[in-house]
Amino acid sequence: MNLTFDIMEEMFMLCNKKQVLSATAFIYFLCFIFRFMEYFLLRTDETFWGEAFIHKLTGIAILFIAVKHYDFRFAEIGFAQNKILYRLLEGSALGLFVFVPAYLVEVMIAIMQGEFENLEIYVSAYSVNGTIGKQTGYLFFVICIVGNIINVIMEEGIFRGLFQKILEKEYSFAATSIIASGLFGLWHIMAPIRSYYDGTMSCKGFAANAILLVATSSLVGFKFALMTKLTHSLYMAMGHHFINNAIVNILHVVSSTGIDKFMVVRISIAQAASFVIILVWYMIARHKQQQAD
C-alpha cells in the first residue's frame, strides 16, 4: 500500500503545479480509473455490500496525497475547524426541508392514479443477478450510512475542495465551479455505461440516462459549489449531499405497480427547490458584499 501511494506521489510530480487544468485532469483521470475498475471488475455494488466504496476510499487517499503535494492545508480546501456540526446540520436540514414536499407530491401522484399503498423504510440491496429486494437488518443500515459518509467525504473533498482550490489559481469562482461541476456530472455516467455494456439498457436508454445524469449531477455539483462559497467550508454541502443520497436509499414509496415509480419526479422537485434556495442566498450575499465594497 505504501508503495502504491509512493508511485501516485511520483506521478503527481509529473504535473506542473502551475498547469492547473492538466493537474485537475490528471487527478480526475486517476480517480476515474479506480471508479471504472470497481464498476466493471470488482462490481462491489452488486455484492453483499450494495455499495461501490473501494474507489471512494482510494479517492480519499488520492486527496491526502494531492493536498500534501500542493502544500495545501485541509482547512484551505474546505475542511474548516469551526462550525462543523452546525454546517452539517444546516445542509441536512435543507435536504429534509425540500424532500418532504417532494415525497408528498410523489405520494399524491400515486394516490391520484389509485396506486399508492404505503411508505416503507429499508435499504435496497443487490446481487450479481440484479436487485434482491429490501433489507431491514441493522447491518445494512450501517453499511448504507457509512458508505454515504465515505462518498460525501471523497466527492466533496475532491470536486468542491481540491479542484476548486487548484483551479482558482488561474480562474474565477464561476469558471472553476463550472469546470468542477462538469467533471462531477461526467463522474456519474459510469452506471448507464455499465448497464449498456451488460445489455440491460438499450442504446436510446443509455443516451437518455447519460444525458439526464450528467446534466442533473452537474447542476447539483454547482449547487454544492455555491454552498461551499457561502459557508467557506465543505460541511453544509456534505450534510446536504448525505441526505440527498441516504433518503433515496432508505425511504421508499410503494405503489401497486412498483416501488419508487415516480422517484425521478421526487428528486427533480427536491433538487430544483434546493438549487433555487441556494442561488437566491448566493445572489443576496453577493449583492451585500458588493455594497460593502
Domains of the chain by residue range: 2-292
The x, y and z cell numbers of residue 261, run together, are: 415509480
Q: Could you give the CA distance from residue 5 to residue 27 in angstroms, rounded to a whole number?
A: 14
CA angle 149, 154, 13 (to 5 degrees): 155
Q: What is the pLDDT of residue 290?
A: 86
Q: What is the pLDDT of residue 16?
A: 55
Q: What is the pLDDT of residue 132?
A: 46
* Number of Cβ atoms within 10 Å of the Cβ of 119: 12
User: Helix (H, G, I), strand (E, B), or coil: what is residue 127?
Assistant: strand
Q: What is the pLDDT of residue 289?
A: 87
Distance of CA 161 to the CA centre of its chain: 13
Q: Using the 8-state DSSP alphabet, how is residue 115 labeled?
A: -
The x, y and z cell numbers of residue 268, run together, are: 427533480
> Helix 138-155 and helix 235-250: axis angle, to 10°?
140
pLDDT in tens, the chain (293 residues): 455 555 555 555 555 555 889 899 999 999 999 999 999 999 998 887 878 999 999 999 999 999 998 999 999 999 999 999 999 999 999 999 999 999 999 999 999 999 999 999 999 754 333 344 678 889 989 999 999 999 999 999 999 999 999 999 899 999 999 999 999 999 999 989 999 999 989 999 899 989 999 999 999 999 999 999 999 999 999 999 999 999 999 999 999 998 998 998 999 999 999 999 999 999 999 989 888 87
CA angle 39, 275, 176 (to 5 degrees): 65
Beta-strand (E) ranges in the chain?
Answer: 116-121, 123-127, 130-135, 251-255, 258-259
Q: What is the pLDDT of residue 130?
A: 38
Q: What is the DSSP string of 247-290?
A: HHHHEEEEETTEESTTHHHHHHHHHHHHHHHHHHHHHHHHHHHH
User: Helix (H, G, I), strand (E, B), or coil: what is residue 124?
Assistant: strand
Q: What is the pLDDT of residue 61?
A: 96
Q: What is the pLDDT of residue 13?
A: 56
Q: What is the CA radius of gyration of the chain?
A: 20
Burial class (CB in 10 A: 0-12, 13-18, 19+), 133: exposed
Q: Which of 201, 242, 186 is nearest to 35 (CA)?
A: 186
For the entire predicted model, the pTM comes to 0.90
> Helix 84-112 and helix 203-231: axis angle, to 10°?
140
